């Protein structure tokens, strides 16, 4: 019935687009749940931010890993000195013979310098190795967090999708009820005209029609709000008329609860991210231990300069020199900073381990609860469907009896209200079932 209604609405919108404004047809879109999720994943800004954070963490890991490779640096400079700097010279006036002045170290006013240097770390107390390991785990944690964000977005979209489905179903039920009440009102008015119905019957039907009209207005507003929310989550323009193009697939769960819990504990992205964070913090604790040990590196340098400082007597010439050696750095005392850094790293590790333990318990409870809610929703759908069948049959019988003069108008109104309530309850049951399935999928950390 709801499928036929949606197709009919699409037909009317298509006709309106052909003979009215073309933009109306362009703003109407039929979506399945998976199509809506794909749209939301593509357009969601928070998910894009999470993925960018993961890319940044991966780049940071590559940057940290590059620290164990040799570093090669170069520099060049030109300097012009003022011409009032005296040269180093001595005179021979204290010797017999003519006076002569010798320049021992002339001043070179134009100075050119070029250098290329190399440093290769040899030993860092495993500090660098542990920093690389921590960075790798942090990058993996960021990737898992982006995966969890994707699952969160998918859940929000599916919830909005099925809430719109529910709102449309309730709207359809109220519109059908309004048509039935109007038909019954016409019948009572005809009978009143010939004296076969009481004024109280007419007033009761008119009151009921006003109630149904109010419910119909509320249903229409609920559709608009639900559609607005779905458009927001999928990234569509807010004036797009989205029509759900799927019915909740009423399928029993294929796996046992214990299997689902084990799967969630093994593959839930939040747990995986916390596990990677624990590993990263463990590596950081070990890295702080390396701060107590010296660092050793090989160094090398080649200098090409005019004047070259190693050639005292040849100032006005380009000369090249090289040097190679080893350097050791050891921070012997820093006022307790290394100790505080180690204590801080251990405290962060203990905090992350506690959060991981708590999250495992929460995931187990969450999967169990969602599993039970799906089972309950399956039973609720079956009961709601039977209530609809019984309510519609009761309404049909009471209407027939009223037409034959064997029933009261009040009974028709009561049966109509019961049928309308049953239709709305069935829509809620179906939507709750679909949302419960989506929530179970989210509890498992899955998008699809």
CATH of residue 367's domain is 1.20.1600.10
In a domain, 11, yes or no: no
- 103 and 190 share one domain: no
- 215 and 162 share one domain: yes
- 115 and 164 share one domain: no
- 97 and 150 share one domain: no
In a domain, 111, yes or no: yes
- Alpha carbon 32 to its chain centroid, in Å, reads 21
In a domain, 135, yes or no: yes
The conformation of residue 317, written as its DSSP 8-state character, comes to S
In a domain, 316, yes or no: yes
The answer to whether 411 and 387 have CB atoms below 8 angstroms apart is no
- 261 and 313 share one domain: no
In a domain, 319, yes or no: yes
- 94 and 171 share one domain: no
Q: For 166-202, give one letter per residue: b (16+ CB within 10 A) or e.
A: bbbbbbbbbbbbbebbeebbebbeebeeeeebeeebb
- 429 and 337 share one domain: yes
Please count the structural domains in the chain: 2
* Contact partners, residue 40, CB within 8 Å, separation at least 6: 153, 154, 156, 157, 233, 234, 235
In a domain, 74, yes or no: no
| Stated pTM of the model | 0.77
- Pairwise CA distance, residues 347 & 343, whole Å: 6
- 30 and 108 share one domain: no
Among candidates 346, 343, 344, which has minimal Cα distance to 282?
346
Domain containing 97 equals: 90-119+296-329
- 336 and 238 share one domain: yes
- Pairwise CA distance, residues 418 & 6, whole Å: 24
Q: Domain boundary residue among 313, 329, 345?
A: 329
Among candidates 373, 286, 299, which has minimal Cα distance to 71?
299
pLDDT by position in tens, the chain (length 448): 444 444 444 444 444 444 344 444 458 899 999 999 999 999 999 999 999 999 999 999 999 999 889 999 999 999 999 988 777 766 665 556 565 666 666 788 899 999 999 999 998 878 899 999 999 999 999 999 999 999 999 999 999 999 999 999 999 989 988 998 898 889 889 888 888 888 888 898 899 899 999 999 999 999 999 999 999 999 999 889 999 988 887 788 888 999 999 999 998 999 999 999 999 999 999 999 888 888 999 999 999 999 888 887 667 889 999 999 999 988 888 888 888 989 999 999 999 999 999 999 999 999 999 999 999 999 999 999 999 999 999 989 998 888 888 778 888 888 888 888 898 899 999 999 999 999 999 999 888 8
- 236 and 135 share one domain: yes
| Tally of residues, the chain | 448
In a domain, 407, yes or no: yes
In a domain, 380, yes or no: yes
* Contact partners, residue 135, CB within 8 Å, separation at least 6: 57, 60, 61, 63, 64, 65, 280
- 167 and 305 share one domain: no
- 167 and 33 share one domain: yes
- Pairwise CA distance, residues 126 & 284, whole Å: 11
């Amino acid at each position: 019935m709801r499928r036929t209604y949606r197709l009919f609405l699409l037909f009317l919108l298509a006709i309106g687009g052909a003979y009215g404004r073309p933009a109306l047809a362009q703003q109407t879109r039929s979506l399945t749940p998976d199509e809506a999720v794909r749209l939301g994943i593509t357009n969601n800004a928070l998910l894009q931010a999470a993925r960018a954070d993961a890319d940044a963490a991966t780049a940071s890991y590559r940057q940290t890993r590059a620290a164990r490779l040799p570093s090669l640096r170069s520099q060049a400079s030109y300097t012009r000195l003022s011409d009032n700097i005296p040269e180093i010279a001595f005179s021979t006036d204290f010797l017999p013979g003519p006076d002569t002045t010798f320049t021992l170290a002339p001043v070179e006013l134009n100075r050119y310098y070029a250098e290329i240097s190399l440093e290769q770390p040899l030993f860092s107390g495993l500090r660098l190795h542990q920093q690389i390991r921590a960075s790798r785990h942090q990058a993996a944690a960021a990737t898992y967090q982006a995966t969890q964000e994707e699952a969160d977005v998918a859940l929000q979209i599916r919830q909005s999708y099925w809430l719109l489905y529910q709102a449309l179903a309730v709207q359809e039920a109220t519109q059908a009820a309004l048509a039935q009440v109007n038909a019954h009102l016409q019948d009572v008015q005809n009978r009143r005209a010939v004296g076969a119905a009481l004024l109280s019957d007419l007033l009761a039907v008119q009151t009921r029609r006003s109630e149904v009209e109010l419910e119909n207005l509320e249903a229409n507003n609920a559709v608009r709000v639900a559609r607005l929310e779905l458009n927001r989550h999928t990234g569509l323009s807010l004036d797009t008329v989205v029509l759900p193009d799927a019915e909740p697939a009423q399928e029993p769960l294929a796996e046992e609860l214990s299997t689902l819990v084990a799967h969630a504990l093994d593959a839930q992205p939040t747990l995986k991210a916390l596990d990677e964070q624990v590993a990263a913090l463990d590596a950081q604790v070990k890295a702080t231990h390396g701060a107590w040990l010296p660092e050793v590196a090989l160094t090398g340098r080649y200098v090409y300069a005019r004047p070259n400082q190693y050639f005292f007597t040849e100032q006005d010439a380009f000369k090249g020199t090289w040097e190679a050696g080893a350097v050791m750095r050891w921070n012997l005392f820093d006022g307790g900073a290394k100790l505080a850094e180690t204590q801080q790293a251990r405290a962060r590790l203990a905090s992350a381990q506690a959060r991981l333990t708590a999250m495992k318990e929460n995931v187990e409870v969450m999967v169990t609860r969602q599993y039970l809610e799906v089972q309950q929703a399956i039973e609720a759908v079956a009961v709601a469907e039977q209530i609809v069948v019984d309510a519609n049959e009761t309404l049909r019988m009471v209407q027939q009896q009223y037409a034959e003069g064997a029933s009261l108008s009040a009974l028709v109104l009561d049966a109509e209200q019961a049928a309308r309530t049953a239709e709305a309850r069935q829509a809620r049951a179906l939507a709750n079932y679909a949302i419960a399935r989506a929530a179970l999928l989210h509890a498992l950390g899955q998008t699809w």
